[in-house]
Amino acid sequence: MLPRSQNDNVVGSERMLPIDPDNTRDLPKNRENRRLKIAGLVLMALPSPGFFYLAKRLDPDPWQTIQDTSQFVFIALLYVGAANVFALGMIVFLAGFTNLPLLTNRRARKGAWVKLAAANLLIVCFGVIFLEDSQSFKESWEESWIYIVGLVLFLFIARSGVLLLRRGWKYDATPAEKLLERDRRPPVVYIRSFKDDDKIMLGSSRVRRLLTPLAFTAAITPEQELAIIMNRAGPVVAIGRPGEALPELGAARLYVGDDQWRDKITDLMKRARLVVIRGGATANLWWEIDQARMLLPPRKLILVSLGNDKAAKSFEAEVEKKFGRPESSDAPRKRLLLRRLVSLMMPLGNDIGRIIYFGEDSKSYAEPIGFFVPSWKWLFLAPYRPYRESLDSAFRRVFKQLDLPWVDRKNRTTAALLGLFVGWFGFHHFYLGNKRRGMYYLLFWWTLVPLFLAWKDAIQLALTDEQEFERKFVHPPQA
């Protein structure tokens, strides 16, 4: 454990928890959120008969059941219509959790329409996947050059859908001013080069850059993962790119003029719980690093180098010039041999980057970030959040060394969605820590009883207010 200054106060158990946008005492707003959740559930349930009809009608061979053009048009319209109603229901349902004023705010409604447009692109992809899974394409067609063109087109549409969905999320981003007003903890200031704002995949080797387009399902950037992690210590804020129409996802953006940003950064640093600087090569970034060295106790500064390309190596070399060669972290690591074996099997390499942090004596330490050994979370989340487990694993060790709080806070939205879609197998109970009840659902899934119980659980979770959820699952009464 690193030496700790007496003036470096640990955040209290109540204040260290992230502030959820849904946590409000505004009763009219709570009623609006409740109406949105109910409307979303109804909309998601409405197309169920259509989906059941399609599943029965198109099994086992979709093309054999379609006799003429009119039937094809009917089935296509039914599929697209039912999927759109379901997608709209999901958007409305989630808006009720995230405190989005869909009924009163034009910007929120525009974001919802953008997300629905993204859903339509993904609906096409799901339809193609269904046809491929049912072996509807003839072998002769699959062996022709047209199949390659179709695959490229599929990847393009899928990736465009994910990127358009991310654009819809940007309409929902909370401005830094509102976040700091709502969350009174000292902020975590995130500093980076603007060039890294829209990077979803970390490019390093030539092979990785060539294969990056195949990761079409990746939707969460390294910055978003860093923001989720750092929110354990305080609200995460950053200076926004001048002139951008929509804020990037991750840290809440604060916009200032070109003649004001240095004063604003200095002011934020003086108030900060932490300053996290992501490596880059711009002159302004090095000015910010120098300011952080002058204004902050060493333990409040964290440098993050992501990727192993020339830019990352150059940044790490410059850091060594300024701070000296960092010592290897003495944080314990589990399953080192297994990690090395896994890294040998990865064609893209195991090295994601390094975290550099400081002791009270200004001595620097380096914590490597490598691809996390697969776990059940990794198996489910890696296509969508490729860097989650890697960054979580490394930062968990760094937080421990710096005496920072690490709380895996249960999320009401996640619990409700697990109940709706995989609650049949008790996943929502496992997530909330009720393993015994989850095992009952898992053991008796074949009876269909857990399916209806899970839907009931999901509705109850959706309609439970934030305070009640916190009391039951975040801070349960001790026996």
Specify whether 355 is located in the same domain as 441. no
Distance from chain centroid for Cα 122: 19
Specify whether 360 is located in the same domain as 213. yes
Bond preceding residue 247 cis, omega within 30 of 0: no
pLDDT digits (tens, 9 = 90+) for 100-117: 888 888 999 999 999 999
CA angle 341-343-344, nearest 5°?
65
Specify whether 185 is located in the same domain as 307. yes
pLDDT at 27: 64
Q: Which domain-ending residue is among 108, 137, 170?
A: 170
pLDDT at 140: 57
pLDDT at 6: 38
Q: Contact, 255 vs 209, CB < 8 A? A: no
Q: Which domain-ending residue is among 348, 367, 401?
A: 401
In whole angstroms, give the CA distance from residue 13 to residue 19: 13
Rounded to the nearest 5 percent, the helix, strand and coil shares of the chain are 55, 10, 35
Containing structural domain, residue 193 = 176-401
Determine the average pLDDT of the residues in 154-183.
93
Whether 177 shows a pLDDT value over 90: the answer reads yes
Whether 391 shows a pLDDT value over 80: the answer reads yes
Pairing verdict, β 327-328 and 301-306: unpaired
% the chain with pLDDT above 90: 49
Determine the average pLDDT of the residues in 263-289.
91
Asked if the structure places residue 381 within a domain, the reply is: yes
pLDDT at 29: 73
Asked if the structure places residue 345 within a domain, the reply is: yes
Q: Contact, 279 vs 253, CB < 8 A? A: no
Specify whether 249 is located in the same domain as 114. no
DSSP-derived 3-state class of residue 253: strand
In whole angstroms, give the CA distance from residue 384 to residue 66: 35
Asked if the structure places residue 14 within a domain, the reply is: no
Specify whether 152 is located in the same domain as 189. no
In this predicted model, which residue has the larger pLDDT, 91 or 138?
Answer: 91
Determine the average pLDDT of the residues in 165-182.
94
Q: Which domain-ending residue is among 144, 170, 196?
A: 170
Specify whether 295 is located in the same domain as 394. yes
Determine the average pLDDT of the residues in 302-326.
86
| Cα dihedral across residues 44, 50, 53, 57: positive or negative | negative
Specify whether 201 is located in the same domain as 247. yes
Which residues neighbour 245 within 8 Å (Cβ) at sequence distance 6 or greater? none
Specify whether 74 is located in the same domain as 89. yes
Q: pLDDT category, 316, cuts 50, 70, 90? A: confident
Asked if the structure places residue 291 within a domain, the reply is: yes
Whether 347 shows a pLDDT value over 50: the answer reads no
Q: Which of 67-81, 189-203, 250-264 has the highest mean pLDDT?
A: 250-264
Pairing verdict, β 188-191 and 252-254: unpaired
Rg, Å, the chain Cα set? 24
Specify whether 255 is located in the same domain as 385. yes
Tokens linked to 263: 């004063």
Whether 55 shows a pLDDT value over 50: the answer reads yes
Q: pLDDT category, 20, cuts 50, 70, 90? A: very low
pLDDT digits (tens, 9 = 90+) for 141-153: 666 777 788 888 9
Asked if the structure places residue 12 within a domain, the reply is: no
Asked if the structure places residue 56 within a domain, the reply is: yes
Specify whether 432 is located in the same domain as 388. no
Q: Domains in the chain: how many in total?
A: 3
Specify whether 131 is located in the same domain as 160. yes
pLDDT at 372: 62
Asked if the structure places residue 20 within a domain, the reply is: no
% the chain with pLDDT above 70: 80
Determine the average pLDDT of the residues in 278-304.
90
Asked if the structure places residue 13 within a domain, the reply is: no
Specify whether 322 is located in the same domain as 263. yes
DSSP-derived 3-state class of residue 369: strand
pLDDT at 176: 94
